Amino acid sequence: MHDALVHVAELSRRAYIVMQVVPVGNGANAGLGGAFYIAAADGMAETLQVEGVEEQTTEKRSVVRKAAVIFDRVRADALPRDTSRDLVLKVADEKWKP
């Protein structure tokens, strides 16, 4: 686990990778409903994929917009990028270092 956390933290130093931690002290947040992905490409409708017992995909604009709002709420509750990276490295060393 230590090596995996350090690897993820190091990947987050790349300009195109963002890792943000939502502190457990914040309590419940909109992101606890599960993982989802929003994809968009020029000339195509945005598509939402939701993981769960059954994976679901939709292009229904109202549903995609709701997911985007949830994503924005989770990011608003998250620590900044550098602070998140520092916390992950700290936890990796304190709890998982061999």
- Estimate the crossing angle of helix 81-96 against helix 2-11, to 10 degrees: 170
Average pLDDT over residues 78-82: 95
What is the model's pLDDT at position 77? Answer: 92
- pLDDT tens digits, one per residue of 24-40: 888 888 778 888 999 98
Q: How confident is the model at residue 11 (pLDDT cuts 50, 70, 90)?
A: very high
- pLDDT tens digits, one per residue of 17-73: 999 999 888 888 877 888 899 998 888 889 999 988 788 999 999 999 999 999 999
The answer to whether 48 and 36 are in contact (CB under 8 A) is: yes
What is the model's pLDDT at position 27? Answer: 84
